[in-house]
Amino acid sequence: MMAIVPEIPSKPVLDIQVTTGEDVPEIFTRETGNGSLADDPSALPWTDCPVIDFSLLSASSAGDELRKLHSALVSWGCFQLINHGINDSLLDKVGEVSKGFFLLPSDERNKYSRTPNDPQGYGNDTILSQNVPHNWNDRLYLHVYPQDQRKLNLWPLTPPDFRGILHEYTMSVKGVNETIVKAMGRCLGLEDNSILDEYGEKTVMAARINFYPECPLPKLVRAARAHSDASAITILLQDKQVEGLQILKDDKWFKVPILPSALFVNVGDQIEIMSNGIFKGAVHRVVANSQRERLSIAMFCSPDSEKEIGPIKKLVNQSQPALYKSFKRYEEIFFRYHPKGERPILTMKI
Ligand SMILES: O=C(O)CCC(=O)C(=O)O
Ligand SMILES: [Fe+2]
């Protein structure tokens, strides 16, 4: 049996009283070597990762858009998605109910607190090593699809329409995920359903609703340290006004701009593995902001956790041997390594 490593506990960031940098607890300011904290965000360049028009992806004449998508996935591992069909009013509403939750008094929010060693629920991320800094981030992490896997006791009852809106948003994002994943299959020269078939019986989706309070020490504290996602793909709704997300490419950091009404899509570890390394999982981080709070909603779309995942057979041959092992339940693997400051995907390499 595996020993359970105890968590390094922390209160939600919203419950820490800070007025000056001196009030920031030491668990947030440790250095990790995950990129220099001294980088001045204003000095970094903007990413020019492609903007993909969703409405063109399923057309029989999608050639140009698929070429753009292919180039995005092999170079950046991410793209901005426009014309995705989710209307602005739903994007606004899911943002508003989410913010409404984080603005609740502490005792209301903490009714939905996660329990130690379980990622689902409200609070901050699990940290399992003294060397790993905590993120200046409170998040509500919920399995949202399939519906019978929802832990409804962790779904806020206030704001009153939170559950209904998150459900509606989930179902809309699920459709977007399917079209993107089919297009990714075509980009690899495979059948439409080649990746979706690897998903098994059902797509699994988790929502991670991030709230980043203002931070008086943005030069020493990360809002989210560098990571790649456990998902196959992540569909992210950024804050409408406050930037902060950055993407790593060729060892350089790039800021991700806010594009009105767009969703930001990035490749997660599981598509990197299924594509046998052809598509790159995007390493990203979020910088802290001393002036403004920030909200984002990441929807992690992944294969059925009981399905064995590995490099797609048609992409493996003598000149391209499999680069990764096959496995099940990647989310569990991710939560074993990430809280210790290790990169989960490296443990999957052959
Ligand atoms: O807040 C963001 O823009 C990104 C969040 C993120 O990387 C995540 O939730 O995995
Ligand atoms: Fe992420």
The pLDDT, as a whole number, for residue 26 is: 87
Ligand 1 atom at shortest distance from the alpha carbon of 296? 1
Alpha-carbon distance of 299 to 102, in angstroms, equals 18
CA atoms within 13 A on the CB side of 151: 16
Tens digits of residue pLDDT in 127-166? 888 888 999 999 999 999 999 999 999 999 999 999 999 9
Q: Is a pLDDT exceeding 60 seen at residue 1?
A: no
Q: Looking at ligand 1, which atom is closest to the CA of residue 223?
A: 1
Q: pTM for this one?
A: 0.95
In this predicted structure, the answer to whether residue 33 has a pLDDT above a threshold of 80 is no
Can you tell me the distance from the alpha carbon of 109 to that of 123, in angstroms, rounded to the nearest whole number? 9
pLDDT tops 90 at residue 232? yes
Cβ–Cβ under 8 Å, residues 98 and 163: no
Query: How far is 46 from 92, CA to CA, in rounded Å?
Result: 25
Residue 271 · residue 229 · CB < 8 Å: no
Q: Answer yes or no: is the C-beta of 238 below 6 A from any ligand 1 atom.
A: yes
Distance CA 28, CA 13 (A): 10
- Determine whether the shortest distance from the Cβ of 284 to ligand 1 is under 6 A: yes
pLDDT for 238: 98
Which pLDDT value is given to residue 42? 77
In which residue are the tokens 């998903």 written?
199
Amino acid at 148: D
Residues β-bridged to residue 222:
287
Kindly report, residue by residue over 104-131, the tens digit of the pLDDT: 999 999 999 999 878 999 999 988 888 8
Query: Terminus-to-terminus CA distance in the chain, angstroms?
Result: 25
- Pocket perturbation via mutation, ligand 1, pick of 231, 284, 294, 331 by most ligand atoms within 8 A of CB: 284
Give me ligand 2 centre to Cα 299, in Å. 10
| Confidence check: pLDDT of 182 > 70 | yes
Superfamily name with CATH number, domain 46-348: B-lactam Antibiotic, Isopenicillin N Synthase; Chain (2.60.120.330)
Cα 7 to Cα 80, 223, 251: the distances in Å are 36, 19, 31
Instruction: Give 15's pLDDT tier (boundaries 50, 70, 90).
Output: very high
Above 70 in pLDDT, residue 266?
Answer: yes
User: Is residue 67's pLDDT more than 70?
Assistant: yes
The pLDDT of 253-282, averaged and rounded, is 96
pLDDT band at 208 (very low <50, low <70, confident <90, very high): very high
What does the pLDDT read at residue 58? 84
**Which of these, 73, 72, 49, 53, lies nearest to 61 by C-alpha position?**
53
203 residue type, one letter: T
pLDDT score at 2: 56
